[in-house]
Chain A
Amino acid sequence: MGLSPATSGSSRVTYDPPSQDGWVTTRLEFLVNWSRANSLWPMPFGTACCAIEFMATAASRFDLARFGMERLSFSPRQADVLLCAGRVPYKLAPVIRRIYEQMPQPKWVIAMGACASSGGMFDNYAVVQGIDTIIPVDVYVPGCPPRPEALMYGIMMLQDKVMQQRSISDQAQYDEITIDPTSRLYIPPARIDELSEPFGNSVHQTRSAP
């Protein structure tokens, strides 16, 4: 890349960009992944305190622009990453599903915080037990709420994932999720019940009879 080998007996390396103008060699897949990973446009879906931490992450001190994510997309149609920050009640389930469906492929989802990942402490009748029961999730960021460093680590993990994709040969990433027409679920009901199993202290709260 413009570096000429050192002449014999000399440790000098010369650099002459004009002589190398217009040349770059790489794999197309790498180039596509590299440009995607470093220019992810997040769609913030902030419903709770995690969104405050996300705002801090996007602001000047932590500066999400370093990862090419400073362009927040408030329309799902121009977004790559759905960043769900906060608890999602059942009433919002069709909304987040519709937002995800409106995003163009390829698209990724980050579940930020305990509530978006698993329902968190809200093991009750109103809160979805993890948004992965509604839409597929790529990165789960733990914390209640996660610090900006944790969110940025999750974003870097997502960038790693994007870099490892077979973006040319693998067409599966462009497939939409298949939704069962009657139940509107994309994974089997038994899997959802398994994902929503109570954990921690809440196992002592048994379901009472109807």
Chain B
Amino acid sequence: MTRDEKDIAARKAAAGRSHDFTSRKRATLRRRGFLKGAGGLALGLPLLHSLEVEADTPPPIKRLVLMYNPNGTIEDAFWPTSGGETDFVLGEMLSPLEAWRDKLLLTRGIDLKVTSTGPGGPHQRGIGGLFTGKELQKGEFADGCGSLAGWANGQSVDQAYVDHLGVVTAIPSLELGIRATAAEVRSRIVYGAPGSPLPPTNDPHQVWSRLFSGIAGDPDTRLVQFDKRKSVLDAVQGQFALLNRRVSNEDRQKLEAHAEMVRELEQRLQLAANAGGGGAGSDACAKPPDPGVLAVDDENEMPRVSQFQLELLAMAFRCDLTRVASLQFSTAINDIRFPWLNSMGQGHSLSHAGTSDPDAREQLVKRGKWFSEQLAYLMSMLDAIPEGDGTVLDNTIIVWCSEVSAGNTHSHNEMPFLIAGGGAGRLKMGRYLQYDGVAHNKLLVSILNALDVPVDSFGHVDFNSGPLSGLEA
């Protein structure tokens, strides 16, 4: 993982602040409520930002969610068929989002231009470039044309935001999968660093335990627990340093990346240990029931798994355990069926059938509607959490897309990008904007800018000139 010294220093400073545990902060914490019962590695209720509540103008907490579904969309069922910038009429696939019209930003005419570079097949290049803005590395995944593709060659936009935030929450980011099986380039959407994809967790029970079990509830016990963990993790760092002297440059890079993750984990544990110390009050954040054992690979369970994942995501935001998440529905080139929709075609094959096959089209539209329903459910939960003068949804940016625009052409033009949420106070929502084939790197820059990350480029150097015009209020 390549992180510059400045960034590390900034995060150390942030961790240092949280460690500075004053009585003023205690008071703040007592006012906020904390998780009742045992907490996770995480726990973490009121974290660093809560310490800033008493500042004169607390900066809003901004959140990012990336959402992905595979194999493209059906163009004329996804994009508005009539109306203009503000009086657009939602396509059939997006109809479940009608109630959220004013919190949608449809950006048409954005291309994954980066897919014109690098190795890999169309699904691979698309999924790798979607949120990284980068080409694929050379590697060992077979694809067409005899070339071999590896992982995406860049960090994804969500992880750039995680790095920008530094250590402010117990969990850096939540990667949630819904039947996102396999562990290849076609099944990974976010990257901590070039060539380092982050694995999604498909099992809601595991997500639940990560978020809500494992850290002692009692403040004194918790501080003791952290003191022990610190001894262990500091010594682990020492072992990394010793081993690093004995390995090749290539291995050392790998080990240093790992050691950096350990360092950051320690900082996050410290944050959780200190911040969780208050008592009481608000019922805003509550440990949800354990989803228990689910057959997460069973096609019939997919709706239930999705519902749990969305609810856990909403609660993680509500409790400020993290500010960054991704939602991955299955993988590119999958065989999945949607029995509860009576849609029994196998995902990838179905998408190849094209729009002229009425049955395939109908099935794909049904699935698209179902994805829209999932998004609507997430939005409704986030909108139910008050924050400042508005809701958590207002401060959240959700970006939804697929790795190709249409399964039967594998096109990377006019990608089905949908932005949802309140735009974090920066994006002007409730609009349908049409562009003329601009690189999606610009959109990624705009997303980061809206999250107050001051970048003017993101991803591949050839496609990264500034933000997308017309998005901001």
Partners in one complex: no
Which residues in B have some Cβ–Cβ distance to A below 8 Å?
none
